[in-house]
Amino acid sequence: MTHTIIEACTGCTACVKICPVAAISGERKHMHVINAAICIDCGACGRICPSASIINEEGELCQSLKKSMWLKPVVLQSKCVACGACIQVCPTSVLEFDETSGEHVIPTLFDEKNCIGCSFCEAACPTHAIEMSVPAMSKT
Amino acid sequence: MKSYTGKVLWVDLTHGTWQEETLSDEIYKKYLGGIGLGAALLYRDMPPKADPLGPDNILGFMTGLLTGAGSFFTGRWMAVAKSPLTGTWGDSNCGGTLALAIKQSGYDGILFKGASDHPVYLYIDSKGPQLLDASPYWGKDAIETEDLLIETHKSKKKPAVAAIGRAGEKLSLISGIVNDRGRIAGRSGLGAVMGSKKLKAVVLAGSKRVRAHDPIKTKWLSLKCSRDVMLPLQLLPSRLVSMFGSIIGHLPMGMSQNGILVAGIMRKWGSVGTLPASVGMGDTPFKNWAGTKYDMPGFNQKVDTDFILKTEKRKYHCRECPLGCGGIVELEGKQAESHKLEYETSASFLTMLMSTDLELAYEMNDLLNREGMDTISAGGCVAFAMECYEKGWITREDTGGSELNWGSSEAIRILLTQMVVRQGFGALLTDGVKRAAEKLVPQAADSAIHAGGQEIAYHDPRLDPGMGLHASVDPTPGRHTTGAQLYYDLYKLWTRVPGLKPAALFYPKETKFEADEYRMKGAVAVSNFTQFYNGMGMCYFGMLIGVDRVPVFEWANSVTGWNLKPEEYMEIGRRIQTLRQMFNIREGIDPRKINVSKRLLGDPPQTAGPNKGVSFDLKKLKKGYWKEIGWDAETGIPTTETVAELDLTDLVKVGGVL
């Protein structure tokens, strides 16, 4: 089962805008629908939804989070082997090779604003070289 | 959870329609993915004796079972079709980002049948496939096409693109399919198949997830592997590699080699790093296979592979590869960023043509990658033309005034520039040496070096007769990736597969040419393993490191959830190899007639160099191989018993099923 929308939906369209694969449809102020054939379970809709209307693939109600509290990838140079799997699985293409990172260039999060915090990169990394953390928290 | 999607996409270009086909787990267990699945689908659906450049040919873009699931060396995708160059089963293999992109689109393969009456490209995003008009891109090179299509379709997800250049559009039989700005599935002439279907490009922007059955085990294996293959050779100079090659070439005994050296060389230089050693030991051909390293004294000093490192701006890794044998090079003011030379391209544009003009080789490499022409075949064609010119079979009148002297940079540039667009004298060479020779005097046939019509990659069978054997017995002839005695040494299959004998460190050189049980079992094991790892979507450079360090069989189980033994995977490889051969038999191909040119068998023997005096009996080796794999030893046709044993009987009969 993929993510689904329940009746609490207010039709605010926040999920439509954040969904990286355009799986959500619906008219403003009306309940929206997730196309299960398209949904990739990135969870962005659940995190952005202000009315707690999204059920995740485990059947749990998703918790809305401020965008500043979303997890973002940090690439650990010492573990990364530059295979680029993280770059390719990213549904919003926000990771890219850092041309200044040495001979075997390694990825970095160059577009933090558009990162949806899905953790696909962390899951795909064969060497556990990606850690997800909240940028605001790590800065403090 | 499993690492394959269980679906392929069929696109009918004649009618502009498409449909998905769902495949059972049993089909994957029988044929794996990649070339294996491609062979099964094409055998089932392609009418026998199809015109390779007609609508009945099927062109597949296939991806392997391991791709995207957290293992390494799995960034390879495979093009499959009937080859217009050889008339046989055709496949070709390429890295970059496309393999994972195919799977992220939701498919294990995308197969095209029919032909469009106008240029089109396939675009797939999260909402599904679309066939779109490619007229604005027709006539453009592959890199320009890729850049424009990415710009057109870049939304949230950056797409991966495979395209043909003008060589494919012009139906050159040595054209390939290009992705990632200059990487190319160059062999078998499959760019022409794409061109004949008026399919300019495939643009993939899917984001579907790929997951291993057991991600924890898979990652554990990957972590261990990444530690086991990283041999730091940063301080090793190219002249030491050259010396190593010379020593091996002149040893009185044969010496087997170790894959960990391959990993170190690949990581530092890329495949071109093997050039000095290959030249030294007599592996690299000179002067259209007729010369030796003594025809170009000091070659390794004049063409220093360390120079390539100096022009390298950064390493290039195919997806899911820890080695990074690729590189992006730039010659300031002369050559914009391009992929660096591979070993094959450097032999093709340098030693084969008696040239030391490395800058020209960069330029021509970029040209051919852009226009989508196979650098292996193209260099072979130029070498053939130069030999014909030397012998007076081609004259200045024929060439329009150009002098095709050995090593002439001007001649090389003119010929290749004409070849990629089928113009001028170069048009003679656009379809490969075999067809070019047919248009010249009969004696020219002996100078046209090929197997079954495909120019042979640059590893000398007089040094490693396995190269000549596999280039002749494999259902896709002329390839260097399908097998060699060297690969048996490097793969170290005996560490995982029962019944195989370890390679001895030293052995009498003359035993290389024997069709004894050890050599023939080894040759068949290499074939079966090749088909297995192609089905898994793995890179042959990674495999050369050895299965003792690269846990390919273990990954296969952790990713799919199967519990098969290495010998069972090897048997699947034998099924795929046999099916590819059955494809050829159905096409009316006589395996006895596909042989590397006699020059490569030492007929006549060389009078100098590391392979001086060598000649060998290919027929004997072929018969030994056929017998060992279970094909008729006299004809090379898989026996009825073997077909039944491999559970292929239902597929190979008329109206067969998978």
Where are the domains positioned within chain B?
7-204, 219-448, 465-652
Compute the distance between CA of residue B147 and CA of residue B157 in angstroms, rounded to an integer: 15
Sheet holding B7-12, edge to edge: B17-22, B7-12, B109-113, B59-63, B77-82, B89-94
Residue A65 burial (CB count, 10 A): 15
CB distance from B29 to chain A under 8 Å? no
Which residue does chain B place closest to A107, by CA atoms?
B317
B592 SS3 class: helix
Average confidence (pLDDT) over B265-270: 91
Q: Is the pLDDT of residue A97 over 70?
A: yes
Cross-chain Cβ contact B320/A120 below 8 Å: no
CB B580 within 8 A of CB B89: yes
- Give residues 224 to 253 of B whose Cβ lies within 8 Å of A: 226, 230
Question: What local confidence, expressed as pLDDT, does residue B233 receive?
Answer: 67
Answer yes or no: do A126 and B219 touch at CB < 8 A.
yes
Cis peptide before B604 (omega within 30 of 0): yes
- Answer whether residue B232 shows pLDDT above 70: no
Could you tell me if A135 lies within 8 Å of chain B, comparing CB atoms? Answer: no
Tell me if A93 and B158 make a contact (CB, 8 A cut-off).
yes
Report the pLDDT value the prediction gives residue B237, as an integer from 0 to 100: 78
Are A104 and B315 an interchain contact pair (Cβ–Cβ within 8 Å)?
yes
Cα B389 to chain centroid distance, Å, stands at 30
Are the Cβ atoms of B70 and A126 closer than 8 angstroms?
yes
What is the Cα–Cα distance from B3 to B6, expressed in whole angstroms? 9
The interface pTM score, or ipTM, of the predicted complex is 0.95
DSSP-assigned beta bridge partners for residue B428: none
| Residue A138 confidence (pLDDT) | 64
CA distance A101 to chain B (A): 10
Nearest to B322 among A81, A93, A114 (CB): A81
| CB-CB neighbors (< 8 A) of A103 in chain B | 314-315
Residues B122 and B202: beta-carbon distance below 8 Å:
yes
* Residue B337 at interface with chain A, using a CB cutoff of 8 Å: no
Is the CB of residue B263 less than 8 Å away from at least one CB of chain A? no
What type of residue sits at position A127? T
pLDDT given at position B1: 72
> What would the mean pLDDT of A3-15 be, rounded to a whole number?
96
Q: Is the pLDDT of residue A30 over 90?
A: yes
Q: Which of B306, B267, B303 is nearest to B284 (CA)?
A: B303
Which residues does chain A have within 8 Å of residue B322's beta carbon, measured at their own beta carbons? 81-83, 127
Alpha-carbon distance of B67 to B100, in angstroms, equals: 6
B640 contacts: CB under 8 Å, gap ≥ 6: none
**Nearest Cα residue in chain B from A99:** B314
Nearest CA in chain A to B309: A103
Q: At what angle do helices B517-536 and B465-473 cross, to 10 degrees?
A: 60
CATH number for region B219-448: 1.10.569.10
Chain B partners of A85 at a C-beta cutoff of 8 Å?
68, 70, 100, 319-320
**B411, pLDDT greater than 80:** yes
Interface of A with B in 16-55 (CB under 8 A): 20-23, 38, 40-41
Query: Is 90 exceeded by the pLDDT of residue B654?
Result: no
**Domain ranges for chain A:** 1-65, 67-139
Q: Write down the residue that tokens 């990629």 correspond to.
A: B420
Query: Which one of A34, A45, A83, A113 would you mutate to disrupt binding with B, by most B Cβ within 10 Å of its Cβ?
Result: A83
Q: Which residues 6+ apart lie within 8 Å of B480 measured at CB?
A: B344, B456, B457, B458, B459, B467, B471
Instruction: State whether residue B68 sits within 8 Å of chain A by CB.
Output: yes
Please give the CATH architecture assigned to the domain spanning B7-204.
4-Layer Sandwich (3.60)
What is the fold, at CATH topology level, of the domain defined by A1-65?
A: Alpha-Beta Plaits (3.30.70)
Considering only the beta carbons, identify the residue of B100, B211, B226 that sits closest to A88: B100
- Mean pLDDT, rounded, for B198-205: 98
- Taking the alpha carbons at both ends of chain A, their separation in whole angstroms is 38
* Architecture label for domain A67-139: 2-Layer Sandwich (3.30)
Element housing B111 (H / E): strand B109-113
Segment A16-45 mean pLDDT: 96
Please compute the mean of the pLDDT values over residues B38-55 and round it to a whole number.
98
- At residue B106, does pLDDT exceed 70? yes
Mutate to test the interface with B, among A125, A127, A128, A130 (most CBs of B within 10 A): A127
Neighbours of A133 (CB within 10 A): 11
Name the H helices within B481-548. Answer: 485-491, 517-536, 540-544
The answer, for B3 touching chain A at a CB cutoff of 8 Å, is no
Q: Regarding beta strands A4-5 and B326-331, do their DSSP bridges make them parallel or antiparallel, or are they unpaired?
A: unpaired
CA pair distance B240, B274, nearest whole angstrom = 11
pLDDT at A95: 97
Under the phi-then-psi rule, with left for phi > 0, alpha for psi from -120 to 50, and beta for the rest, what region is B654?
beta
Dihedral over Cα of A127, A128, A132, A137: its sign: negative
Q: Is the pLDDT of residue B655 over 80?
A: no
Tens-digit pLDDT profile for residues B597-651? 999 999 999 999 999 999 999 999 999 999 999 999 999 999 999 999 999 999 9
Q: Which residues is B80 bridged to in the sheet?
A: B60, B91
A76 in contact with B at a CB cutoff of 8 Å?
A: no
- Is residue A84 pLDDT above 80, yes or no? yes
First to last CA, chain B: 23
Amino acid occupying residue B527: S
pLDDT of residue B227: 86
User: pLDDT grade, residue B657 (50/70/90)?
Assistant: confident
Judge if A1-65 and A67-139 fold alike in CATH terms. yes
Query: What are the tens digits of pLDDT across the range A45-82?
Result: 999 999 999 999 999 999 999 999 999 999 999 999 99
Integer Cα distance of B145 and A3 in angstroms: 37
CATH fold of B465-652: 1.10.599
Tell me what pLDDT residue B501 has: 97
The number of residues making up chain A comes to 140
